[in-house]
Amino acid sequence: MADPRPILFFDSGVGGLSVLAPTRALLPQAALVYAADSAGFPYGTRSEGEIAARVPALLGRLAERYRPRLIVIACNTASTIALAHVRAALDVPIVGTVPAIKIAAERSRSRVIGVLGTRATVRQPYVDDLAARFAGDCTVLRHGSADLVELAEQRLRDRSIDPARFAGVLAGLFDQPGGDRIDVIVNACTHFPLVADDLARAAPRPVLFVDGGPGIARRVAQLTNGQGWPDVLPPGIAVFTGAADPALAPAFARHGLTVIETL
């Protein structure tokens, strides 16, 4: 049977597009809504208390408006802090985003991996737990960068960026003791895969960058397996909690999000 309910993706900004894209590739028939908390951006510099209160409240309003079949919190910071709060508040399946430390540990030969995220994400006990469970025989170096979030937002606006800024972010990992042995870096913020090519070019030597987007897409496909989809695919919706930036419209349109709304 036809089912018009969309999948809702939520992030503080544009980073969740790195999760939406592989999901759209797996489920081209799915109706999609992308919500950017532009009024609260960036999350990486906010307190944990603010995020734990803000995210469930916003997702409650979004769920009431769009009636999604499933919500993807396509933001590592929001997931590591607010995922349990959202699941307690909403009667909708929720998929969170966590750093791909397991994948990094499986692929590392040097047994030294880097975790590149926001400051709020890299300090979370959840990351400690992932490292202990899946990378116990690895040295896990972490670096939190608010600047890289801003760079990803600028890149999606097609703005030119000095490559030295990406090199400066990576130095936060490579300049740590043992950093010269890093061979895999976890992009532990959904913004960062959007500038993965820039990061690869700026790295002082070849390293592998990994993220959780493809795995999240597979999880969404699994949870929606057997469900009906719209007979006619509606235009994708991008909704902002603050003023929408017209400069982002082409980037959202490339992901099938051609309708712009505000919450």
163 upstream amide cis, omega within 30 of 0: no
Other beta carbons within 10 angstroms of residue 28's beta carbon come to 10
Tokens of 80: 């590591």
Q: Which of 20, 31, 33, 189 is catalytic?
A: 189
| 70-73/94-95 β-pairing | parallel
Tokens of 24: 């759209």
Amino acid at site 111: R
**Under a CB-based contact definition with an 8 Å cutoff, are residues 201 and 223 in contact?**
no
Look up 189 and say whether it is catalytic. Answer: yes
Q: Which of 8, 75, 116, 169 is catalytic?
A: 75
d(CA 235, CA 28): 12
Tokens of 68: 């999604």
**Under a CB-based contact definition with an 8 Å cutoff, are residues 57 and 45 in contact?**
no
Look up 138 and say whether it is catalytic. Answer: no
Residues acting as catalytic residues: 75, 189
